[in-house]
Amino acid sequence: MGGWRGTRRIAVWTSVWFVVLAVYVVQTLGGLYLAGQRCFVGSPTVPCPNGPDATAAITLGFIGIPLAWLSGIVVFALVSSRRGRRGRPERP
């Protein structure tokens, strides 16, 4: 990956996905908390959040976002290995 340039790319990629994950977690937990409060206060008229929606949101946060991050790291590694092979002359 060209030394520091590749390291910088991975650090930026990781930082961006860390921010995405942090925003997602705050929004998800905030939404679940507010839905629970609305359900508690207006019990007969307000529908409570159901389990599958919360499970899907948590699954995306714990599995989907890290997989997207990891796929980016794999792409960086593949691109750097191809660039490295292209730049070296063949040995006899």
Alpha-carbon span 68 to 60, nearest angstrom: 10
Residues in CB range of 68: below 8 A, 6 or more apart: 17
Domains of the chain by residue range: 4-86
1-53 pLDDT, tens digit per residue, is: 455 667 788 888 889 988 998 888 888 888 878 777 777 777 777 677 666 67
Check pLDDT > 70 for residue 70.
yes
pLDDT at residue 64 is higher than 60: yes
Q: How far apart (Å, rounded) are the C-alpha atoms in residues 17 and 76?
A: 15
What per-residue confidence (pLDDT) applies to 46? Answer: 66
> pLDDT at position 1, please?
47
pTM score of the predicted model: 0.65
